[in-house]
Structure 1
Amino acid sequence: MNQEFNAAYWEQRYQTNQTGWDTGSITTPLKTYFDQLTDKNLRLLIPGCGNGYEAEFLSRNGFTQVYLADSAPAPLANFKKRVPGFPEEQLLLQDFFTLDGTYDLIVEQTFFCALPPELRPAYARKCAELLPAGGKLMGLLFDTTFEKEGPPFGGNREEYRLYFAPYFDFLVYETATNSIAPRQDKELFILLQKK
């Protein structure tokens, strides 16, 4: 792989508005899941958060322990403009693989597909490191292949199962039924619980 997908690469994509993955708001599968959560004190991590629409939704709905992590400063700055009262210490300008701490729930929304596929086993391992026993990883993974070389990088549920199975029990692992139109039948909704 020739391209290095580092912080500078992603910052350049934000600065030049090459953000085709950005839906402009929280997507329905994540909103539906968040709407049924009752514990507003859960510690949530959104890695590769981008413009953080999920965190904006959670924050506006009373969740106080939401942490956003991104390696590029632009999306965190965009989020801060939209949600000015959000705690500064919960905006983490940091590479996902260097994060520490413990979270009750990790939210996956277009971060996994942005990583070079060779990092997927490390992603699964890192998620497990950041969660206590019983902690959850929830979100969406693309269950499709793409015509162009990524990012986004596609894949399939059988491949992904190999990465997560050593660390997680699979509570929900099925095609999302409420994806946004361009992603209909191409997303896998996951809810995994750390062993």
Structure 2
Amino acid sequence: MSTNDQPTDARARLRQHFLGDKSLHIKKWDDLYIEDFLPWDKGFVNPAFVDLLHDRKELFPNTEGKRGKALVPGCGKGYDVLLLDEHGYDAYGLESSKNALIAAKEIEKQAKATGQYIGRGDVNWVDGDFFDDGWLIEVQGEKKFDLIYDYTFLSALPPSLRPAWSKRFKDLLAPGGRIVCVEFPTYKPHSTGGPPWALPPKVYMAHLSRPGQELPYAEESGLQESELGDASPDGLQCIAHFQPKRTHNGGYDEQGKITDWVSVWAHPSE
């Protein structure tokens, strides 16, 4: 397809871009950074995450005076990583796109030069595939995290990777740690495809409470809740689930109502 033949709608263009061999998806994401076609990039942290860290401190673990470790998989240009650094975390921004990391490092440099942020932890930019272990060599100390943040990362993954995504999140979460998901897009029908893939709250609830399990999906209607069965005994526990007071503009419907949700997860009985 020539440039002139590409769909004008951003989501249609994304869907077209990712048709075909799923093994090429990492390269295809990097290609979008080269083209500077980044419709998901708003240029700043989602306000829902800002508010959560500022207003709901009781949801997060007490690291007993030590700096916690935070992970943002699929960090893009790294706005969330810098925010977590400001909150005192040693923050790791993981990306499979080398060009995204080049942009993230430049944004960090400019932000420091202009005094826009002063970090209290350490920032670490890591090139790697979330589902492989090779990048963990870059992680200092124990290879687990006190906070893992997902916003638009899961929506970028084909639904077939959701069992692996949930298991990986569970395995990388430190005892006492928290997973934060800003759930988006919640309003799309499953049949519309992606990215971004439809992610109603039931998808997060089903997969994170059953990490690693293959769950039943129908081509048109998506997740089949009536066929799920019980959650896993070692599944993650949702300790908070609510709609934020504000979010990025893509999380509002035509009437101005927020469609995003925020969920916070922990290991069982924590």
* Paired residue total: 194
The match for 2:125 is 91
TM-score, length of structure 2 as denominator length: 0.65
**Correspondence for 1:68 among 93, 98, 106:** 93
**Correspondence for 1:170 among 225, 231, 238:** 238
1:139 positional shift: 2.5
Structure 1 counterpart of 2:99, which letter? A
1:94 positional shift: 0.4
Distance 1:62 1:137, change over 3 A: closer
Distance 1:88 1:136, change over 3 A: closer
SS at match of 1:179: coil
Residue 144 (str. 1) matches residue 187 (str. 2):
yes
1:118 positional shift: 1.0
User: Which residues of structure 2 form unaligned runs of 5+?
Assistant: 1-18, 113-118, 137-142, 211-234, 253-257
Residue 81 (str. 1) matches residue 149 (str. 2):
no
What's the CA shift string for 1:12-70, capped at 9, x where partnerless?
011112211101001111111222458681100000001111112233x2525000101
Structure 2 counterpart of 1:171, which letter? I
The match for 2:202 is 158
User: Which residues of structure 1 form unaligned runs of 5+?
Assistant: none
SS at match of 1:134: strand
Q: Is the 8 A contact 2:187 2:259 kept in 1?
A: yes
SS at match of 1:98: coil
Q: Is the 8 A contact 1:112 1:141 kept in 2?
A: no
Q: Is the 8 A contact 2:70 2:89 kept in 1?
A: no
Provide the aligned C-alpha RMSD in A: 2.5
The match for 1:25 is 44
**Correspondence for 2:79 among 40, 43, 53:** 53
What's the CA shift string for 1:63-116, capped at 9, x where partnerless?
250001010111111111121379998211001111441100001111010011
The match for 2:20 is 2
The match for 2:32 is 13
After TM superposition, the runs of 4+ consecutive aligned structure 1 residues lying more than 6 A away are 85-89
CA distance in 2, matches of 1:174, 1:192: 12
SS at match of 2:176: coil
Per chain length, whose mean CA-contact separation is higher, i.e. which structure has more relative contact order (CA < 8 Å, sep 6+)? Answer: 1
Structure 2 counterpart of 1:15, which letter? I
CA distance in 2, matches of 1:69, 1:31: 20
Distance 1:64 1:154, change over 3 A: same
TM-score, length of structure 1 as denominator length: 0.88
What's the CA shift string for 1:120-149, capped at 9, x where partnerless?
111111000001232110021221216853
Structure 1 counterpart of 2:73, which letter? P
Does 105-114 or 33-42 show the bigger shift?
Answer: 33-42
